[in-house]
Structure 1
Amino acid sequence: MSKKYTIQKTPFVVPTNDGKLIEEHFGNATDGNSQISIAHMIAPPGWSEPFQTPEFDEYTYIINGKKQFNIEGELVTLVAGESIKIDKNTRVQYSNPFDVECEYLAICLPAFSIDLVNREES
């Protein structure tokens, strides 16, 4: 009888050069699932990435610290225990301009793909 569940003990650690930890538990890089990606992330103080206009909905849940979102020119800050859904095709920039790291979960529908993120040149 085949199992009806999957336990992830070795997430794919996405290589970065900005100090951010990205551990994809399920998604394109880990198990080839293009429908959803679930990642645990830690953004160091002072971290930011370029604006992007993803072709996927992105849900973020803050575990510790706080994170700033520039959503089409509106600055939104979330703290531990808060969450947000950003609709696909929305121009957004993610950052942690604060003095403490931010730990959070990100869920993308469909799954995160570098081909769907549409990052702008920095």
Structure 2
Amino acid sequence: MSNKRYKIQNAPFVVPTTDGKIIKEHFGRATDGNSQISIAHMVAPAGWSEPFQTPEFDEYTFIISGKKQFIIEGDTIILSAGESIKIQKNTRVQYSNPYTEPCEYLAICLPAFSMDLVNRED
């Protein structure tokens, strides 16, 4: 067992998806059992979207490249590279990339992302 007070993550957990989205969790429940925070590197392909959800975690998103659309309580927000957003827990939101280029971004969830906490709509 290591006594080091740091951990370099060079083998993130790749979350299996069926919609073409690439999700690499660097820290979080799936990678190291951390329920406090999750940090994931994502690439949403052109034309990607997911259902509305009302997560029980705060979610921070930082756009690395491309654009991402957020529908938050009726407001449509579009973020581009270099922009970021915090969406408070228990807020109804829908994420999508209706554009022609992939969107690469970081997602940080407090507490950590969990399918049990995301509350996706059918």
Give the TM-score, by structure 2 length.
0.98
User: Runs in 1 of length 4+ with deviation above 2 angstroms?
Assistant: none
Secondary structure of 1:30's counterpart equals helix
Unaligned runs of 5+ in 2: none
> How far does the alpha carbon of each residue in 1:26-77 deviate from its partner, in whole angstroms, 9 at most, with x for none?
0000000000000000000000000000000000000000000000111000
What is the alpha-carbon root mean square deviation over aligned residues? 0.7
Secondary structure of 1:8's counterpart equals coil
Q: What is the match of residue 114 of structure 1?
A: 115
Aligned residue pairs total 121
Q: What is the match of residue 25 of structure 1?
A: 26
Q: Percent identity?
A: 78
> How far does the alpha carbon of each residue in 1:81-121 deviate from its partner, in whole angstroms, 9 at most, with x for none?
00000000000000000000000000000000000000000
Secondary structure of 2:51's counterpart equals coil
Aligned amino acid, residue 75 of structure 1: T
Quote the Cα distance in structure 1 between the aligned partners of 2:73 and 2:111.
21
Q: What is the match of residue 80 of structure 2?
A: 79
Quote the Cα distance in structure 2 between the aligned partners of 1:75 and 1:47.
16
Unaligned runs of 5+ in 1: none
